[in-house]
Amino acid sequence: MNNQDQTAPLLEVRNLSKHFGAVRALNDFSMVVRPGEVVALAGDNGAGKTTLIKAISGVFQPTGGEILLRGQPVSFSTPQEAREKGIETIYQDLALADNLSIGANIFLGREPMRKAFGFLPVLDRKTMAEAAKATMGRLDFHVSRLEAPVSNFSGGQRQAVAIGRAVYWDAQILIMDEPTAALGVPEQRKVISLIHQLKAQGRGVIFISHNLQDIFAVSDRIVVLRRGVQAGERRISETNHDEVVKLMVGG
């Protein structure tokens, strides 16, 4: 554990602020994410979690403060730029095209092409299917029906596809906004085990959830937000539900 504290942070947020007019949605907030670490963000509704991840993922420009990726200051004007730098956001509402295969979803917007008959550019479905199989295999998710549209799969499996897309494009930081909220209990467990896989691969995960049980099951640290400021930060091994709830509500 102490060893992990000394590794260089993958992502560092320093004194980040985001003001909407007079509303201070996020104020002077700092946190770090190290490789192979899962950091949970907790907080009541309106505490500033969503503002924070939108600032990190390039949806909002922060009003003040800085974001460092492997020690280098970065700023993103669009989510695409953040994604190119390896910060991928996985939304709870499953950002997949249900009518396309797993491979087509992984490659959506960056489809590989090949030349048929030596001149005619066509979609390279074989490469997509193989990459899908390999990527999903890395997440311990074995599929044989690679041509089937993802609507044929369950919610947790589709969440796995969204995570697989991030893994394929080698995202180093995955921001997961309520990844278990829309899922049944067995599906939630599947996602939790996926997060363990990501951790084992040395990626950094920012995990946002209302579900303290999930947070305690998967996170290394928990950062609590309250009214836009950091209300506390605890190692999961050194805290309990009651303390976290107290931090969240300000008791």
**Which residue ranges make up the site for other proteins (CB under 8 A)?**
79-80, 83, 91, 93-100, 104, 108-111, 113, 116, 120-123, 136-137, 141-145, 148, 151-155, 157, 160
Of 1 and 110, the one with the shorter C-beta distance to other proteins is 110
Task: Of 175, 178, 173, give the one whose Cα is nearest residue 155.
Answer: 178
Of 125 and 227, the one with the shorter C-beta distance to other proteins is 125
Tokens representing 223? 């950062």
Query: How far lies 54's CA from each of 39, 61, 173, 195, in Å?
Result: 16, 9, 14, 21
Least separation in angstroms between CB 112 and other proteins: 10
Least separation in angstroms between CB 203 and other proteins: 17
Least separation in angstroms between CB 8 and other proteins: 26
Least separation in angstroms between CB 93 and other proteins: 8
Query: How far lies 250's CA from each of 64, 224, 244, 247, in Å?
Result: 25, 10, 10, 5
* SS3 call for 3: helix
Least separation in angstroms between CB 98 and other proteins: 5
Least separation in angstroms between CB 91 and other proteins: 8
Task: Of 35, 61, 31, give the one whose Cα is nearest residue 43.
Answer: 31
Of 21 and 121, the one with the shorter C-beta distance to other proteins is 121
Pairing state of beta strands 72-74 and 64-69? antiparallel
Q: Give per-residue burial for 40-51: e unless 16+ CB within 10 Å, then b.
A: bbbbbeebbbbb
Of 59 and 212, the one with the shorter C-beta distance to other proteins is 59
Query: How far lies 184's CA from each of 20, 114, 146, 193, in Å?
Result: 36, 40, 24, 14
Of 1 and 120, the one with the shorter C-beta distance to other proteins is 120
Q: Give per-residue burial for 216-231: e unless 16+ CB within 10 Å, then b.
A: bbbbbbbbbbbebebb
Of 28 and 111, the one with the shorter C-beta distance to other proteins is 111
Least separation in angstroms between CB 54 and other proteins: 13
- Whole-angstrom distance, CA of residue 204 vs CA of residue 189: 19
Query: How far lies 66's CA from each of 10, 79, 101, 125, in Å?
Result: 14, 16, 38, 41
Of 71 and 109, the one with the shorter C-beta distance to other proteins is 109
